[in-house]
Amino acid sequence: MKIYAKKKILIICRDAGGAELISSWLKFNKISFSGIISGPAKNIFKQKKIKFKQRLFLKKAIKENQIIIAGTGWNYKEYFKSWKLAKKYKKIIISFIDHWKNYKLRFKFKKKYFFPHEIWVSDIYAKKKAKKIFTKSKIRLIKNHYLEQLRKNKTHYRKKNKIIIATNNLDAAKKILKEKIKISDEFFVLKSINFIKKKYDSTNIYLKIHPSEKRKKYIQILKKNNLTNIKMLKETDPIKFAKSCKMLIACETNLLPVSKALGIKTYNFFLEGKINRVVPRVYFDNYLRV
């Protein structure tokens, strides 16, 4: 985008979802920037071979740049520190939202809200929702270069026979975020396994564990229910595990649009309560109702 070509930009990114969108946007538009890139985002920028200067000191980096672009992630204090400092030094603050849920909560830290000058979203569904919530921030619709690239390359993937169940830490959502979800992670996994066994080849079922969860939790669930033949997926990169995947069952996660873009059959586990069903219907094949 030409309006950012001559500006000094600092990218602050940690979460995988935001990192995929931001990195693809940067690469497509050939934008130069410096960055404070950490956590899962580090590997994503590395895999895409995006060159930038890694900054170590947040305050100094903010003072030396004109525009601060950050991802959003629940309760990640580095984002809030950057927004607070950027506001202090009168910088332009932009945030990417990579999902369709908990919009306002993404900008809350220690009972305070920090809203950016601009909020960027990647589809019309997110834009419509964001406009209702953020009345003082400019909402900008940015093309989703990440999904677009996946769709272009989907014929490169030879589907095999793995069926993947991707967890979403529903238990934490209920406990920490106070979401009114009636089912547990154990219920989701067991019902998904039963569905697969009835309709598909049950010898190649894998669990992909959400980054915020521990493998031990699911080892115990599988052992308790005599399902020790179910394997844990070691590969975390959705592009890599897609090469051997023919079907994905998930529950309101970003893996659904990614997998569908790659041509994988996708089921979104149906949650009771309209407020809990947030991934737009165009981004998956069917609901899994049990």
d(CA 103, CA 166): 22
Contact, 14 vs 43, CB < 8 A? Answer: no
**Which of 91-95, 236-240, 243-247, 272-276 is the least confident region?**
236-240
Return d(Cα 226, Cα 224) in angstroms, integer: 6
Is residue 281 exposed (0-12), middle (13-18) or buried (19+ Cβ within 10 Å)? exposed
Q: Strand 231-232's sheet: what is its strand order? A: 231-232, 205-208, 162-166, 245-250, 265-269, 286-288
**With pLDDT > 70 as the criterion, what percentage of the chain qualifies?**
94
Q: Greater confidence, 250 or 160?
A: 250
**35-49, 127-141, 149-163: lowest mean pLDDT where?**
149-163
> Does residue 66 surpass a pLDDT of 60?
yes
Residues 75-80, mean pLDDT to the nearest whole number = 71
Question: At which residue do the structure tokens 């995988």 appear?
Answer: 16
Q: What is the pLDDT of residue 202?
A: 72
Is 184's pLDDT higher than 80? yes
| Mean pLDDT on 9-27 | 91
- Per-residue pLDDT tens digits for 92-111: 999 999 889 888 888 887 78
Query: Residue 179 is encoded by which pair of tokens?
Result: 């979401």
SS3 (DSSP) at 120: strand
pLDDT in tens, 102-144: 888 888 877 888 889 999 999 999 999 999 999 999 999 999 9
Q: Taking the model in full, what pTM does it have?
A: 0.87
Q: How confident is the model at residue 34 (pLDDT cuts 50, 70, 90)?
A: very high
Instruction: Count CB-CB contacts under 10 A for residue 72.
Output: 23
Neighbouring C-beta atoms of residue 212, cutoff 10 Å: 12
pLDDT of residue 156: 59
Residue 248, pLDDT score: 95
Distance CA(163)–CA(166), nearest Å, equals 10
* 75 pLDDT above the threshold of 60: no
How many other C-beta atoms are found inside a 10 Å radius of the C-beta of residue 276?
Answer: 18
State the pLDDT at residue 190: 96
Query: How far is the C-alpha of 160 from the C-alpha of 237, rounded, in Å?
Result: 17
Higher-pLDDT residue of 203 and 188 is 188
Helix boundaries (H) for the chain: 16-29, 39-47, 58-63, 77-88, 124-133, 145-153, 170-175, 185-199, 215-224, 238-242, 255-261
